[in-house]
């Protein structure tokens, strides 16, 4: 018999109230609260908590806090990740985030999906014929070098390609191709991000700073 967690990963209906899943969630909620109560200079304690709560987190990553992980273990985070305050990841399904990706304040990633019919949201018959609330979930994948602005919501089943910028307040309900500037509700591609967007063409902002072209190319 397939376990409830396996059902999540298969993208089929599962019972969020199953004891095995509730145990995972309670652990993640407890650790999220512990992390949110730490100070920024408690570096070792924060690292310890993150190592325990998430499936993987790469080197040089920083999460401001407060933070909320629903399962935690279903989230994989790359190197040099940054998240500003109030990050929420409802990772019933897998959430995968690449390297050098940054999130602004109040970003929410949600993977579970509930039936549209009200009576089906209340209860359906599970694989054993028992009446229970059931839902399903779709994974979220965010590539490398992505910038997600403040108050963005990313819905289940979405892939955001490398190098994208998502405008503030967007609700991302569909895939965004790599190196795109996208925004809106629902989020739509505005245009590709090209070399003409380089800061080198904004001398009034650059002032006495310089672009490191070679480093940018290597990171990509």
Locate 171 and state its tokens: 């609700």
Q: Out of 70, 79, 80, 114, pick the active-site residue.
A: 114
Query: How crowded is the C-beta side of 215, counted as CA atoms within 13 Å?
Result: 4
**Contact (CB, 8 A) for 160 and 170:** no
> What DSSP assignment string belongs to 131-170?
EE--BEE--EEE-TT-EE-TT-EE-TT-EE-TT-EE-TT-
Locate 95 and state its tokens: 């959430």
Say whether 114 is catalytic. yes
Locate 23 and state its tokens: 């145990």
What are the angstrom distances between the C-alpha of 40 and each of 36, 56, 72, 97?
Answer: 10, 20, 20, 22
Active site residues: 114
């Amino acid at each position: 018999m397939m376990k409830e967690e396996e059902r999540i990963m298969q993208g089929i209906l599962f019972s969020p109230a199953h004891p095995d899943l509730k145990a995972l969630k309670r652990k993640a909620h407890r650790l999220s609260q512990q992390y949110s109560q730490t100070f920024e200079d408690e570096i070792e304690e924060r690292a310890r908590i993150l190592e325990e709560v998430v499936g993987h987190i790469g080197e040089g990553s920083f999460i401001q806090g407060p933070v909320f992980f629903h399962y935690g273990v279903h989230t994989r985070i790359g190197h040099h990740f940054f998240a500003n305050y109030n990050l929420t990841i409802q990772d019933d399904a897998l959430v995968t985030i690449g390297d050098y990706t940054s999130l602004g304040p109040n970003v929410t990633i949600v993977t579970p999906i509930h039936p549209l019919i009200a009576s089906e949201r209340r209860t359906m018959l599970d694989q054993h014929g028992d009446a229970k609330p059931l839902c399903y979930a779709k994974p979220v994948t965010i590539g490398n070098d992505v910038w997600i602005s403040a108050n963005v919501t990313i819905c289940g089943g979405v892939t955001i390609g490398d190098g994208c910028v998502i405008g503030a307040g967007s609700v991302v309900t569909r895939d965004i191709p790599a190196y795109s500037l996208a925004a809106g509700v629902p989020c739509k591609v505005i245009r590709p991000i090209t070399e003409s967007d380089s800061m080198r063409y904004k001398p009034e902002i650059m002032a006495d700073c310089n672009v490191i072209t070679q480093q940018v190319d290597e990171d990509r």
